[in-house]
């Protein structure tokens, strides 16, 4: 599984790793790509894959609601769960994905500063994620959320596998 998260190993097998930074998203229909996002603490990462169309995407959202900064949300919708997730869904639909085939998986939404963290950003990110999914008639197939540890999330566009690394251990979602 480490091939998904190790750029050097991926390159040896003819794969290309695309890093999805904080407040960004990437979508593609290229089976040679692996999309990876790092350092998901309170941020939430979501992978989307349609195995029939061979289309997938990955997003790294920082904050739950765009109403705190509408101008920034217009410029960078992926920064916020409520604008980023709909943008990710639309982008994969534009590449040929079908809602009925989507496999969605999530990681992050934790409390890296501990359970007494005052703003509860991770928890709020997960709540908004659930609401956006519900409004779109979608649900997560798997998740690795909460806690205080940071996570790395990777989506293999060849197989549709989503892998999460937490505390140095990798597992498939």
- Catalytic residue numbers read 43
80, HSE (Cβ side, Cα atoms, 13 Å): 17
Greatest alpha-carbon pair distance for the chain in Å reads 45
CA–CA dist 101, 28 (Å, integer): 16
- How many C-beta atoms lie closer than 10 Å to residue 81's C-beta? 28
For residue 170, the SS3 value is: strand
Contact 108, 43 (CB under 8 A): yes
Tokens of 13: 């097998």
């Amino acid at each position: 599984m480490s091939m998904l998260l190790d750029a050097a190993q991926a390159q040896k097998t003819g794969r290309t790793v695309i890093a999805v930074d904080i407040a960004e998203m990437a979508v593609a229909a290229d089976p040679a790509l692996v999309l990876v996002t790092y350092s998901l603490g309170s941020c939430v990462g979501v992978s989307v894959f349609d195995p029939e169309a061979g289309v997938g995407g990955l997003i790294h959202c920082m904050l739950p609601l765009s109403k705190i900064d509408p101008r920034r949300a217009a410029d960078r919708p992926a920064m916020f769960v409520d604008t980023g997730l709909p943008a990710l869904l639309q982008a994969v639909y534009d590449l040929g994905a079908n809602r009925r085939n989507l496999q969605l998986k999530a990681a992050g939404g934790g409390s890296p500063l501990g359970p007494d963290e005052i703003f509860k950003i991770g928890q709020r990110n997960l709540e908004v994620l659930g609401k956006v999914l519900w409004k779109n008639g979608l649900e997560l197939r798997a998740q690795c959320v909460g806690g205080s540890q940071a996570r790395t999330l990777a989506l293999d566009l060849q197989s549709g596998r989503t892998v999460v690394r937490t505390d140095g251990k990798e597992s498939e979602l």
